Structure 1
Amino acid sequence: MLDASDPAGSPPLQPGQVLARGVARHLRDHDFACLEEFVPERGLRMDLLAVGPKGELWCIECKSCRADFTSDGKWEGYLPFADRFFFAVDCDFPTEILPDAAGLIIGDGFGAEVVRMPEAMPVATARRRKLTHRFARVAAQRLHRMRDPMGMLL
């Protein structure tokens, strides 16, 4: 029997990955394209970067529990790479510990809802161009890897 964390018989997803999938589904319904575990620059890895229909860049950090949030101080490093920054959590997460300036998304493995929209902080034009280009290349590389997994070994 399949469950929310293992829809295709692949290795079980971690709680944050399950949450990222639900958030990506929600954003896809609003015409955003999403990449999980996107690296904007060396040393940083966003849980989810979403590019909207007008080119807007949203960074979403998925937190599975209080310890996950308190042990991760890197999220502030993502702010220069996104027009809007969100935390995504499940309905049992203690949201009062999250910064008020950040957006808030409540979700699960099947969907999500934006509960609090953060103020927009536009990304610098040169950085936006670089990020959008990197987003496209990473997406294409991942698609190619899926279609030709052996090609990466040659």
Structure 2
Amino acid sequence: MPIISPHSDNPLVDGRQSDRAMMVRRGVQRLLADLRLSMMPELALASGRRADLVALGPSGEIWIVEIKSSIEDYRTDRKWPDYRQHCDRLFFATHSGVPADIFPQDCGLIVADEWSGHLFREAPEHRLAAATRKAMMLRFARAAADRLLLAELAASAG
């Protein structure tokens, strides 16, 4: 076994997010947990894109939350419209240092800090087709099970 590994030993951390994006994600996760949604960060979608946060509600509703940590982060990333085909509701999440008016009105908006989030604007509903919903739920469940297994294996190796 190498002394220094270039890979994280924690299967729940992939290291691609900035500290500010992770701060927003933690606040959003606390808000969504309070709303009784289950979450999967960094979920690969059928389109090949990776959603920052996918949430599953008690009735099977699927939300995607796209985290933007700065104005520049929002302006340089144009992949988010593709996420609509994978969710019932699409949200942006950011922190109080980013102006809310840069985000499209036809998406929800969450403003978060490290401790919590506030649902600034609800997202309009765009109901998924049954086949797409089933595929997303299977993708969500398989990713959650795979990550749990990796976390258990990492914990037992230590």
Q: Which amino acid aligns with 2:119?
A: V
Measure the CA separation in 2 of the matches of 1:143 and 1:21: 19
Q: Alpha-carbon deviation of 1:149?
A: 2.6
What is the TM-score of this pair, normalised by structure 2? 0.84
Q: Alpha-carbon deviation of 1:25?
A: 1.2
Q: Alpha-carbon deviation of 1:17?
A: 2.1
Aligned equivalent of 1:92, options 88, 94, 97 = 97
Q: Deviations 1:76-103 (Å, cap 9, x if unpaired)?
A: 0101111000000101111111101110
User: Are 1:117 and 2:122 an aligned pair?
Assistant: yes
Q: Deviations 1:98-151 (Å, cap 9, x if unpaired)?
A: 101110101012110111102100011101001001101100110110110399
What residue in structure 1 maps to residue 88 of structure 2?
83
Measure the CA separation in 2 of the matches of 1:42 and 1:60: 16
Q: Deviations 1:46-78 (Å, cap 9, x if unpaired)?
A: 100000011000000010000000010000010
Q: Which has the higher contact order (CA 8 A, sep 6+)?
A: 2
Aligned equivalent of 1:24, options 23, 29, 34 = 29
Gaps of 5+ in 2: 1-12
Q: Which amino acid aligns with 1:104?
A: L
Aligned equivalent of 2:76, options 44, 50, 71 = 71
Give the number of equivalent residue pairs. 142
For structure 1, which segment, 15-24 or 139-148, has the greater mean C-alpha deviation from structure 2 after superposition?
15-24
Q: CA RMSD in A?
A: 1.9
2:66 alignment partner, SS class? strand
User: Are 1:139 and 2:152 an aligned pair?
Assistant: no
Q: Alpha-carbon deviation of 1:13?
A: 5.9
2:40 alignment partner, SS class? strand
Q: Which runs of 4+ in 1 moved over 2 A?
A: 10-13
Measure the CA separation in 2 of the matches of 1:98 and 1:17: 19
User: Are 1:61 and 2:66 an aligned pair?
Assistant: yes
